[in-house]
Structure formats: C-alpha cells, structure tokens
Chains A and B, each alone.
Chain A
C-alpha cells in the first residue's frame, strides 16, 4: 500500500483567493494524480502531475486555474487559484506505485482529501 498525507485537511477560503494543497507520499511512486469530488458527484480527474515537467490536464481543467508542481517522486502540490464558491469540493491526491513494488496491478491509492469551502 501507500501512505499518503495531504495538507491542509480542510479550509474555508474567501472568494478570489488561492489555496495550495500539498501531497506527500511515504515512498517512491510512479504516477501522481489530482482529483476533485464535488458535492454529490463522482470523482473527476483534474490532472496527472509529472515530475520535472508540466502537468497533463484533463478536458475542462487549465493550468492557470489549477497550477500543479511535482518537484520529486514523492511530493506534489495543487493550487486552486482565484477561487469561487463553485470550487468548493474535496480535492484528493492519488498515486500508483512502481510495478516492481506492487506487481502489474496498477492499484491506485488515495490520500485523505482536502475539504475546501469557498465563501
């Protein structure tokens, strides 16, 4: 398995401000992802965080709104910029581990999430 921590666990922010969420994993991982879970909705992939290069964003998500960094194999940040109430969601970090560690299953592990409320 993988032990994933996220900071902060929750926050209440004002409209127009930005929040940076941190994701730390206990061991080397291959892929890191950021998901959003809006109230009553399923999880939606925001982007894949690539080490040392720009993140790969899914349709409907852009770098200016959700800048992502991944400076090393075990750490990533997601920033929610210029927030509006529509950004109120749970944001989850997710990882897969190298196949030489967990075999060819590509099991995906999730962090505890960051609950964001924008007023």
Chain B
C-alpha cells in the first residue's frame, strides 16, 4: 500500500526566504507526482505535475524535483511571499490493478510566510 509522508508538517519563514518542502513515498512504481496548494476553506489548486520519466518541473518561483528510485520529491519556493501561505500537498498516482488512476495524498505542509 502506497504511503506518502510530508515533512515538516508546518513551517514558518520570513518573507523573501527560499524554502524546500519534502515529500516521500514508499512505492516507487508511480505514474506521476503532483503538488497542490490548499488555502483555508478552499479546494486544491494544482501547482506542478512531474511524470515518472521526468526529474523536475518549473513554474515561476516554484521548482519541483522527483527522484523516483529513492521515493522522494521536493518543492522549492524561491523568494517566498506572504501570499504563498497555504497548505502544500503532495500526491502520487499509480495505476491500480483495475486500471483506474488513484491519487495517494500526504497530509501536507502548512506554510506561513511572515511579512
């Protein structure tokens, strides 16, 4: 059974600092990995998706890396801003035996960027 762990559970940084969020997963047979952002009381916003054959993806100040063999992914946020404050979720997808695509989520890292 796939398990996804995110460390740390919470992180507080001053504005402008660069930071790294970590995600690990137990089963390396993944189809892809997706990073989401969840604001309080809101749904999830997709940030980046990395296919299993890729090593990293970039979007603006965000860079996500994937090391499938070691079961790890990182989300790097450059020059953090107060608007980046949210919970960041990591999710991996594997193809189930039935052929459906199932996402397994971590519990998230709650990020607070202090002005």
> Which residues of A does B touch, CB under 8 Å?
1, 4, 6, 31, 40-45, 48, 56, 58, 92, 94, 96, 105-113, 115
| B90-115 interface with A by 8 A CB criterion | 91, 93, 98, 100-103, 105-108
A-B contact pairs, 14 of them (CB 8 A): A4-B43, A40-B107, A43-B89, A43-B91, A43-B103, A43-B105, A45-B102, A106-B31, A106-B101, A108-B34, A108-B91, A109-B46, A110-B45, A110-B46
Q: Summarize A's interface: helix, strand, loop or mixed.
A: strand
Residues on B with beta carbons closer than 8 Å to the beta carbon of A113: 41-43
Please judge, given known A-B contacts A42-B107, A42-B108, whether A107 and B34 are in contact too, CB under 8 Å. Answer: yes
Q: Which of B41-85 contact A (CB under 8 A)?
A: 41-46, 49, 51
Interface range on chain B (Cβ under 8 Å from partner): 20 to 34
Are A42's CB and B105's CB within 8 A?
Answer: yes
- Residues of chain A within 8 A of B46, CB atoms compared: 1, 107-110
Known: A45-B103, A94-B103, A107-B34. 11 other contacts (CB 8 A): A1-B46, A6-B43, A42-B89, A42-B105, A58-B102, A105-B32, A105-B51, A108-B103, A110-B36, A111-B43, A112-B42
**Is B21 interfacial (CB-CB < 8 Å)?**
no
Please judge, given known A-B contacts A107-B34, A107-B49, whether A92 and B101 are in contact too, CB under 8 Å.
no
User: In the complex the two chains form, what is the Cα distance from A11 to B32 in whole Å?
Assistant: 34
| Cβ–Cβ < 8 Å partners of B42 in chain A | 112-113
Instruction: Give the CA-CA distance A45 to B106 in the complex, in Å.
Output: 13
The answer to whether B44 and A92 have CB atoms under 8 Å apart is yes
Residue of A nearest to B31 (CB): A106
Instruction: Give bound CA distance, A43 to B6, whole Å.
Output: 13
A111 to B31, CA, bound (A): 23
For the complex, give the distance between the alpha carbons of A4 and B101 in Å: 20
B44 touches A110 (CB 8 A): yes
Closest-CB distance, B52 to chain A (whole angstroms): 11
Q: Give the chain B neighbours of A45 by CB distance below 8 A.
A: 102-103
Q: Out of B43, B49, B105, B107, which one reaches A105, CB within 8 Å?
A: B49
